[in-house]
Amino acid sequence: MKSLCSTIICGCLVLPGAAAAELKFGGQVVVGYGEVQNGPVDPGTDGGYGILDLTLGNQHDLGGVGFKWDVRGRVRSDQDDIGQVEDNNIDAAVEFDFGAGGKLGLTTFIETYDQKPWADGDLFNRGSVGVFPVIQKRYDGVRDSQFTAGGPFGAKVDPDVLLTYSNKFGRLGFDFTWNFMETWDGKKRSEMANNADNFAVAEAKLTLPTKGFGIYSLQFNDIGDAEAQVVFPMREKGLTFVGRYSINEGNFDEYRGNLAVIYRPKNMGLFKGAFFAHAFNDVSSRSALSLAFGKDAWEVKIAGDTDGDVAIEGAYNFNKMTSLHFGWDNGFSNSGGPGNGFDDDTFPAPVFAAERGSAFEVAFVHKF
């Protein structure tokens, strides 16, 4: 994969005869400290850490074909502690835009740790997540990290590189994602967990936005999993309703559902919004609620779920580029089943989530 990234970078920098827009350069510096109490320490959560991101990108016109590329270099002081999920020092992506012929791309960016609408207490140090309804997933996404040999208690790894294609046919959108190398962090299926034959490597998604009746989507993969979703925004009221339902390998008896309501009010003073989610499958169900508050330069999120997990996140923005962040959660036990308090679907752990006590994290962020 490193050689692939090098090839992409070199090719982008020496494109001949291409009309290019201005080169985009940016990045961020993160300096933080995290600590876990009264339990096993998860990777990267005990002690200080520093992260440096540098990003570079550009767009070109190749004789009527649009072309853009992005490269990110990332250095972490806790590189040896974070496991093998999103551990690349260099990621790259390229995309060709053929207009009516669609967009074709290659990417090594496999992002799973983006901040979500709810507070979970986890910021940048890749610790375990303390709040979210933990319901076993039924849809295996191509971008999902997977267990290596020895799973489900072994390390998790990401797909190396993905081929993507997207197009629109009127209102209907089509997206295709393919792990064509069928490797995860350089490991082939034979080096993965015993159920590696059931890892998805190709998936397609259809999306249909309507006028006033919501956005509908259906995605399915090469092992028979399927997931349907509807998003119904009520912008004038600040409300968004989301419903999602998935089945496992064509078996309707193995299902998972998610219902969510997102509320972003206007002109309500300190109260900035709420997020409620209810998740259920053929075995159990759980719910979570997160509330957001803020004024001027500061913001706070408080969340809890029906497992008794609680988390708080806060931030103070000195300006548009510099901010201070804080996160805390009360930990979780395995009394409700393995990994209780950890959403393995949305936040793949470097290792299986262990029982632990409370945790906190503080981080200073400067973007440029």
> For the segment 189-234, what is each residue's pLDDT rounded down to a tens digit?
888 887 788 899 999 999 999 998 999 999 999 999 999 999 999 9
- pLDDT at residue 179, rounded to an integer: 97
- Taking residue 43's Cβ as centre, other Cβ atoms within 10 Å add up to 19
- pLDDT at residue 20, rounded to an integer: 64
Whether 95 and 289 have beta carbons less than 8 Å apart is answered as no
Q: Which long-range contacts link 201-205 to residues 24+ away (Cβ below 8 Å)?
A: 201/142, 202/142, 202/176, 202/177, 202/178, 203/141, 203/142, 203/176, 203/177, 204/174, 204/175, 204/176, 204/177, 205/173, 205/174, 205/175, 205/176
Model confidence at 306, pLDDT cuts 50, 70, 90, reads: confident
Rounded CA separation 122/126 (Å): 7
More reliable by pLDDT, 330 or 298: 298
Model confidence at 14, pLDDT cuts 50, 70, 90, reads: low
Q: What is the pLDDT of residues 221-273, one digit of tens each?
A: 999 999 999 999 999 999 999 999 999 999 999 999 999 999 999 889 999 99
Across 39-60, average pLDDT:
77
Flag the least confident range among 69-83, 279-293, 328-342: 328-342
